[in-house]
Structure 1
Amino acid sequence: MTTAVPRHAFHPDNAAVTTAPVVAAAQETVEGMETSEDAHSDALTYTLSAAKWRRLQDPTSDKLETWESWVLAIQVGSALFAAGTAQEDPVPLRVGTLDEVRRLPTTGPQDYLHAGNCSPPSTWR
Protein backbone atom coordinates (compact mmCIF):
# COMPACT_ATOMS: atom_id res chain seq x y z
CA MET A 1 0.00 0.00 0.00
CA THR A 2 1.32 3.42 -0.97
CA THR A 3 0.91 6.36 1.37
CA ALA A 4 1.13 9.91 0.10
CA VAL A 5 2.58 12.40 2.54
CA PRO A 6 1.38 15.97 1.95
CA ARG A 7 4.07 18.60 1.75
CA HIS A 8 4.32 22.25 0.93
CA ALA A 9 4.25 23.30 -2.69
CA PHE A 10 7.65 23.31 -4.31
CA HIS A 11 8.23 24.72 -7.74
CA PRO A 12 11.32 23.05 -9.24
CA ASP A 13 11.57 25.59 -12.07
CA ASN A 14 15.10 26.71 -11.18
CA ALA A 15 16.07 23.73 -9.05
CA ALA A 16 18.43 22.32 -11.68
CA VAL A 17 20.37 25.60 -11.75
CA THR A 18 20.52 25.69 -7.95
CA THR A 19 21.41 22.00 -7.66
CA ALA A 20 24.32 22.05 -10.11
CA PRO A 21 26.85 23.80 -7.83
CA VAL A 22 25.86 21.59 -4.89
CA VAL A 23 26.44 18.44 -6.94
CA ALA A 24 29.72 19.85 -8.30
CA ALA A 25 30.97 20.64 -4.78
CA ALA A 26 30.07 17.13 -3.63
CA GLN A 27 31.92 15.55 -6.57
CA GLU A 28 34.98 17.76 -6.02
CA THR A 29 35.06 16.81 -2.35
CA VAL A 30 34.78 13.09 -3.15
CA GLU A 31 37.63 13.39 -5.64
CA GLY A 32 39.81 14.95 -2.94
CA MET A 33 39.13 12.34 -0.28
CA GLU A 34 42.39 10.49 -0.88
CA THR A 35 44.59 13.51 -0.22
CA SER A 36 42.70 16.09 1.83
CA GLU A 37 41.69 15.90 5.47
CA ASP A 38 39.25 18.77 4.82
CA ALA A 39 37.58 16.65 2.16
CA HIS A 40 37.07 13.90 4.73
CA SER A 41 35.20 16.18 7.08
CA ASP A 42 33.09 17.72 4.29
CA ALA A 43 32.42 14.70 2.09
CA LEU A 44 29.42 13.26 3.91
CA THR A 45 27.78 16.66 4.42
CA TYR A 46 28.24 17.62 0.76
CA THR A 47 27.09 14.30 -0.68
CA LEU A 48 24.01 14.26 1.57
CA SER A 49 23.22 17.83 0.51
CA ALA A 50 23.52 16.88 -3.16
CA ALA A 51 21.22 13.89 -2.65
CA LYS A 52 18.64 16.05 -0.89
CA TRP A 53 18.73 18.64 -3.68
CA ARG A 54 18.28 15.91 -6.29
CA ARG A 55 15.32 14.64 -4.28
CA LEU A 56 13.67 18.06 -4.47
CA GLN A 57 13.60 17.79 -8.26
CA ASP A 58 12.62 14.14 -8.23
CA PRO A 59 10.26 13.54 -5.27
CA THR A 60 9.52 9.95 -6.30
CA SER A 61 13.22 9.16 -6.89
CA ASP A 62 12.49 7.81 -10.37
CA LYS A 63 15.62 9.25 -11.99
CA LEU A 64 18.94 7.47 -12.05
CA GLU A 65 20.77 10.63 -10.95
CA THR A 66 18.74 10.75 -7.74
CA TRP A 67 19.47 7.12 -6.96
CA GLU A 68 23.17 7.54 -7.71
CA SER A 69 23.41 10.58 -5.45
CA TRP A 70 22.02 8.61 -2.50
CA VAL A 71 24.29 5.66 -3.26
CA LEU A 72 27.29 8.01 -3.32
CA ALA A 73 26.35 9.49 0.08
CA ILE A 74 26.04 5.98 1.53
CA GLN A 75 29.37 4.93 0.03
CA VAL A 76 31.10 8.03 1.40
CA GLY A 77 29.69 7.44 4.89
CA SER A 78 30.83 3.82 4.81
CA ALA A 79 34.26 4.77 3.46
CA LEU A 80 34.84 7.38 6.15
CA PHE A 81 33.81 4.97 8.88
CA ALA A 82 36.05 2.23 7.46
CA ALA A 83 39.01 4.63 7.27
CA GLY A 84 38.34 5.70 10.85
CA THR A 85 38.36 2.15 12.18
CA ALA A 86 40.98 0.49 9.94
CA GLN A 87 44.29 -0.73 11.29
CA GLU A 88 46.29 -0.72 8.03
CA ASP A 89 46.98 2.16 5.69
CA PRO A 90 45.68 2.86 3.02
CA VAL A 91 42.12 1.55 3.03
CA PRO A 92 40.90 0.62 -0.48
CA LEU A 93 37.23 1.54 -0.81
CA ARG A 94 34.72 1.68 -3.62
CA VAL A 95 33.26 5.16 -3.89
CA GLY A 96 31.48 6.25 -7.06
CA THR A 97 29.33 4.87 -9.81
CA LEU A 98 32.12 3.72 -12.13
CA ASP A 99 33.70 1.09 -9.88
CA GLU A 100 36.15 3.73 -8.65
CA VAL A 101 38.45 2.49 -5.91
CA ARG A 102 39.85 5.17 -3.65
CA ARG A 103 42.62 4.56 -1.17
CA LEU A 104 41.91 6.52 1.98
CA PRO A 105 44.46 6.96 4.72
CA THR A 106 43.48 5.61 8.11
CA THR A 107 42.30 8.45 10.30
CA GLY A 108 41.41 6.95 13.64
CA PRO A 109 38.56 8.52 15.60
CA GLN A 110 37.46 11.89 14.20
CA ASP A 111 34.73 14.39 15.13
CA TYR A 112 33.06 13.97 11.74
CA LEU A 113 32.67 10.22 12.36
CA HIS A 114 30.39 10.80 15.32
CA ALA A 115 26.78 9.91 14.46
CA GLY A 116 25.57 12.97 16.34
CA ASN A 117 27.21 15.20 13.74
CA CYS A 118 24.87 13.98 11.00
CA SER A 119 21.40 15.44 10.65
CA PRO A 120 18.71 12.95 11.70
CA PRO A 121 16.49 11.39 9.01
CA SER A 122 13.50 13.28 10.41
CA THR A 123 15.05 16.50 9.01
CA TRP A 124 15.57 15.12 5.49
CA ARG A 125 12.94 16.83 3.42
Structure 2
Amino acid sequence: MSKPVRIGLIGYGFMGRTHSNAYTQVGHFFPKDKLTTGHHIVRQAVCGRDETKVKEFAEKWGYASYETDWRKLVARDDIDAVDICTPNDSHAEIALECIKHGKMILCEKPLALNGEQGEKMVAA
Protein backbone atom coordinates (compact mmCIF):
# COMPACT_ATOMS: atom_id res chain seq x y z
CA MET A 1 0.00 0.00 0.00
CA SER A 2 1.36 3.43 -0.89
CA LYS A 3 2.03 6.09 1.73
CA PRO A 4 0.61 9.61 1.50
CA VAL A 5 2.72 12.73 1.08
CA ARG A 6 0.41 15.43 2.42
CA ILE A 7 1.10 18.68 0.59
CA GLY A 8 0.59 22.16 1.99
CA LEU A 9 0.68 24.71 -0.84
CA ILE A 10 1.50 28.32 0.02
CA GLY A 11 0.44 30.69 -2.73
CA TYR A 12 -2.32 30.15 -5.28
CA GLY A 13 -1.27 32.46 -8.10
CA PHE A 14 0.10 31.27 -11.44
CA MET A 15 2.70 28.89 -9.99
CA GLY A 16 0.30 27.63 -7.32
CA ARG A 17 -2.18 26.75 -10.07
CA THR A 18 0.59 25.15 -12.10
CA HIS A 19 1.76 22.99 -9.19
CA SER A 20 -1.83 22.07 -8.29
CA ASN A 21 -2.43 20.94 -11.85
CA ALA A 22 0.74 18.84 -11.68
CA TYR A 23 -0.45 17.22 -8.44
CA THR A 24 -3.70 16.21 -10.12
CA GLN A 25 -1.87 14.77 -13.16
CA VAL A 26 1.12 13.04 -11.55
CA GLY A 27 -0.57 9.63 -11.49
CA HIS A 28 -0.95 9.70 -15.28
CA PHE A 29 2.77 10.28 -15.77
CA PHE A 30 4.01 7.93 -13.05
CA PRO A 31 1.61 4.99 -12.87
CA LYS A 32 1.80 2.50 -10.03
CA ASP A 33 4.34 0.01 -11.31
CA LYS A 34 7.93 -0.99 -10.60
CA LEU A 35 9.15 2.59 -10.89
CA THR A 36 6.99 4.13 -8.16
CA THR A 37 8.35 4.98 -4.74
CA GLY A 38 5.32 3.72 -2.86
CA HIS A 39 3.98 7.22 -2.18
CA HIS A 40 1.01 9.21 -3.41
CA ILE A 41 0.16 12.91 -3.29
CA VAL A 42 -2.58 14.24 -1.02
CA ARG A 43 -3.59 17.87 -1.52
CA GLN A 44 -3.99 18.55 2.19
CA ALA A 45 -4.12 22.36 2.48
CA VAL A 46 -3.58 25.57 0.55
CA CYS A 47 -2.75 28.97 1.99
CA GLY A 48 -3.50 32.47 0.75
CA ARG A 49 -4.29 35.84 2.31
CA ASP A 50 -7.77 36.32 0.84
CA GLU A 51 -10.09 33.85 2.59
CA THR A 52 -12.79 33.92 -0.08
CA LYS A 53 -10.34 33.32 -2.93
CA VAL A 54 -8.27 30.66 -1.15
CA LYS A 55 -11.43 28.78 -0.18
CA GLU A 56 -12.58 28.80 -3.83
CA PHE A 57 -9.12 27.64 -4.92
CA ALA A 58 -9.16 24.79 -2.38
CA GLU A 59 -12.55 23.62 -3.63
CA LYS A 60 -11.58 23.89 -7.31
CA TRP A 61 -8.27 22.01 -6.97
CA GLY A 62 -9.32 19.43 -4.38
CA TYR A 63 -7.47 20.61 -1.27
CA ALA A 64 -8.94 19.23 1.94
CA SER A 65 -8.62 22.56 3.77
CA TYR A 66 -7.18 26.05 3.62
CA GLU A 67 -5.38 28.59 5.80
CA THR A 68 -4.94 32.35 5.57
CA ASP A 69 -1.70 32.40 7.61
CA TRP A 70 1.25 30.48 6.18
CA ARG A 71 2.74 30.04 9.67
CA LYS A 72 -0.34 28.04 10.70
CA LEU A 73 -0.04 25.82 7.64
CA VAL A 74 3.66 25.14 8.30
CA ALA A 75 2.95 24.25 11.95
CA ARG A 76 0.22 21.72 11.13
CA ASP A 77 0.93 18.09 12.00
CA ASP A 78 -1.06 16.86 8.98
CA ILE A 79 1.33 18.47 6.47
CA ASP A 80 4.40 16.49 5.35
CA ALA A 81 5.73 18.78 2.62
CA VAL A 82 5.31 22.50 2.00
CA ASP A 83 5.24 23.76 -1.58
CA ILE A 84 6.32 27.42 -1.61
CA CYS A 85 4.77 29.29 -4.56
CA THR A 86 4.94 32.80 -3.14
CA PRO A 87 6.74 35.95 -4.32
CA ASN A 88 10.52 35.54 -4.39
CA ASP A 89 11.23 37.78 -1.40
CA SER A 90 9.32 35.45 0.96
CA HIS A 91 10.91 32.11 -0.01
CA ALA A 92 13.75 32.18 2.55
CA GLU A 93 11.58 33.12 5.53
CA ILE A 94 9.00 30.43 4.78
CA ALA A 95 11.63 27.76 4.04
CA LEU A 96 13.49 28.46 7.30
CA GLU A 97 10.24 28.08 9.23
CA CYS A 98 9.55 24.81 7.42
CA ILE A 99 12.96 23.53 8.50
CA LYS A 100 12.15 24.36 12.13
CA HIS A 101 9.03 22.20 11.83
CA GLY A 102 10.77 19.31 10.07
CA LYS A 103 8.85 19.68 6.80
CA MET A 104 10.00 18.62 3.36
CA ILE A 105 10.30 21.70 1.17
CA LEU A 106 9.39 22.24 -2.47
CA CYS A 107 10.32 25.81 -3.42
CA GLU A 108 9.87 27.73 -6.63
CA LYS A 109 12.98 29.38 -7.96
CA PRO A 110 14.85 31.35 -6.94
CA LEU A 111 15.39 29.58 -3.64
CA ALA A 112 16.77 32.79 -2.11
CA LEU A 113 17.39 36.39 -3.14
CA ASN A 114 21.16 36.14 -2.69
CA GLY A 115 23.95 33.76 -1.76
CA GLU A 116 23.94 34.76 1.90
CA GLN A 117 20.26 33.82 2.27
CA GLY A 118 20.83 30.58 0.41
CA GLU A 119 23.78 29.62 2.62
CA LYS A 120 21.70 30.32 5.74
CA MET A 121 18.96 28.04 4.42
CA VAL A 122 21.40 25.23 3.61
CA ALA A 123 23.05 25.54 7.04
CA ALA A 124 19.68 25.24 8.80
TM-score of the aligned structures, taking structure 1 as reference length: 0.28
TM-score of the aligned structures, taking structure 2 as reference length: 0.28
Structure with bigger strand share is: 2
The structure that has the greater radius of gyration is 1
Structure with bigger helix share is: 1
